[in-house]
Chains A and B, each alone.
Chain A
Amino acid sequence: MPEIRVRFEDLSVGYEIPKLARSITREDVERYADVSGDRNPLHLDDGFARSVGFPGVIAHGMFTMGHLAHCLTDWLGDPSALSRMDVQLRAPVFLGDVIVADGRVKALDPKMRTVVLDVWVTVDRDGSVEYPIRRGEAEVRLPAE
């Protein structure tokens, strides 16, 4: 069984979690549409995506959020510590993009052993940085020693 490997005592405001990058392919988007059940043509049909103003299909916002959650569970070691996430999906993610999930501790409650993090996801397109998720928030609850 996976175990929580983050100790509350090791954290402080400003602590940065390890970033996690991944590229987005058409196969990723199609596979996610199948497994999630979200078969909106915006993610599957280039012609439809163009008809609503995008250059082609875009990745699911929930794929971006899922990648961010993966970044958090990678850091934590176990999903049982993750108690809340709240994100706004601000910019589309296109095929070929590399999304980078990241986060930083912004508040700690020693009594409740909860940690609130700012979390975000960036895409760097030729030096221009977009934020598919800009000011997301995650809350983590860590067990007593």
Chain B
Amino acid sequence: MAEEAAVPMNPALEGKVYPPVPFTVDPERVERFRAAFGEERDIVPPTFVTAAEWAVFPGIIEDPGLELDFSRVVHAQQEYEWRRPLVVGETLTVRPRIASIREKGGHGFLTVETELVGADGAIVVIARATLIERGV
């Protein structure tokens, strides 16, 4: 298969803030998430936060200004800071922004920082996902 010419991501989008999106910690989805990991206790698994990140990632990945080729993307690094566990049934506000865009060793690195904010306005979780766009 012929390789298409790779276009690097647009570094001017570093710092871009995307619109906040509401995310409800849906009981049925939490149940399925627990089942996926064999979690038998009545908890919201800590990495359920990933589902909230995926509520906003498509809007970033598909941002035409970013020029990201998602077919070249692999997930390279993930950080979570939890101030408290998520609570089943609560609705959080998911606030994403592009924390950094870098190029290193012929690859592009995109870090998205996402805050999950509770109904009281306090930050519940900060998530930092770094994606590699291979071979730019």
- Residues of chain A whose beta carbon lies under 8 Å from any beta carbon of chain B: 1-2, 22, 28, 31-32, 34-38, 40-42, 48, 51-52, 60-63, 65-67, 69-70, 72-73, 77-80, 82-89
**Is B76 a contact partner of A78 (Cβ separation < 8 A)?**
no
Residues 32-61 of B contacting A (Cβ, < 8 Å): 32-33, 35-39, 41-47, 50-51, 54-55, 57
Q: In the complex the two chains form, what is the Cα distance from A66 to B35 in whole Å?
A: 12
Report the interface size for chain B: residues with CB under 8 A from the other chain. 38
Taking A31-B36, A69-B45, A80-B84 as contacts, is the C-beta distance between A38 and B78 under 8 angstroms? Answer: no
Min CB distance, B45 to chain A, in Å?
7
Query: Taking the nearest CB of chain A, how far is it from the CB of B18, in angstroms?
Result: 16
Chain B residues packing against A (C-beta within 8 Å): 1, 29, 32-33, 35-39, 41-47, 50-51, 54-55, 57, 70-85, 134
Residues of chain B contacted by A52 (CB below 8 angstroms): 71-72, 134
Taken together as a complex, chains A and B put the C-alpha atoms of A1 and B41 apart, in Å, by 9
Could you say which of A42, A61, A85, A88 contacts B46, with CB atoms under 8 Å apart?
A85
Of B36, B39, B75, the contact of A35 (CB 8 Å cutoff)? B36
A-B contacts, 21 of them at CB < 8 A, read A2-B43, A22-B38, A32-B36, A37-B51, A37-B54, A37-B55, A38-B54, A40-B73, A61-B76, A61-B78, A62-B78, A66-B45, A69-B46, A70-B38, A70-B39, A73-B39, A73-B41, A78-B41, A80-B84, A85-B80, A89-B75
Determine the chain A residues whose CB is within 8 A of the CB of B39 once the complex forms.
70, 73
Q: Which residues of A contact B43 (CB under 8 A)?
A: 2, 73, 78-79
Whether B36 lies near A28 (C-beta < 8 A) is yes
CB distance from B133 to the nearest CB of A (A): 12
Nearest A residue (CB) for B76: A89
Q: How far is the CA of A39 from the CA of B134 in the complex (A)?
A: 18
Q: What is the minimal beta-carbon distance from A25 to any residue of chain B, in angstroms?
A: 11
Nearest first, the 5 closest Cβ-Cβ pairs linking A and B are A37-B54, A86-B79, A66-B47, A61-B75, A69-B46
Residue of A nearest to B44 (CB): A79
How far, in angstroms, from A28 to B37 measured CA to CA in the complex? 9
In the bound complex, CA of A80 to CA of B42 (Å): 12
* Cα distance, A143 to B48, chains bound together (Å): 23
